[in-house]
Amino acid sequence: MKSPVVKRSIVIAGHKTSVSLEDQFWDALKEIASEKRSTLSDIVASIDSGRNQGNLSSAIRLFVLAHYRATPARRESPDTAERSAATRPNVA
């Protein structure tokens, strides 16, 4: 059976490194880079410089998870957001 984890090379901070991630995390990372109008290499370099421990692959997974947990409303379509707002109780 083929592994869902794919190893890819990326250049960060001027050096080439390999990162093993599932395709879904690569896709999400590319989407985040596009949203931020940044390059994949710049996003990964930022993740790499900000991690205190663990490997880069794990740090990227946690970054992607944190990004999507912090922005759940952005994943809703306008129609879905309107329906959600209509069904929420009014809290004063």
Q: What is the pLDDT of residues 17-26, one digit of tens each?
A: 999 999 999 9
* CB contact at 8 A, 19 and 7: yes
Domain annotation covers residue 92 = no
> Which residues are 17's β-sheet partners?
10
Q: What residue ranges in the chain does DSSP mark as E strands?
A: 5-12, 15-22
CATH number at residue 11: 1.10.3990.20
Domain count, the chain: 1
Domain annotation covers residue 73 = yes
Domain annotation covers residue 81 = yes
- With both helix axes pointing from N to C terminus, report the angle between 40-50 and 56-70 in degrees, rounded to the nearest 10: 100
State which residues form the domain around 34: 5-86
Claim: this prediction has a pTM higher than 0.85: no
13 CB-near residues (< 8 Å, 6+ apart): 45, 48, 49
Closest CA to 43 of 28, 21, 22: 28
C-alpha distances (whole Å) from 30 to each of 33, 41, 44, 53 are 5, 10, 10, 23
What are the pLDDT digits (tens) for 8-60?
999 988 899 999 999 999 999 999 999 999 999 999 999 999 998 889 999 99
Domain annotation covers residue 67 = yes
Domain annotation covers residue 20 = yes
Domain annotation covers residue 15 = yes
Domain annotation covers residue 91 = no
Per-residue tokens: 69: 């947990």
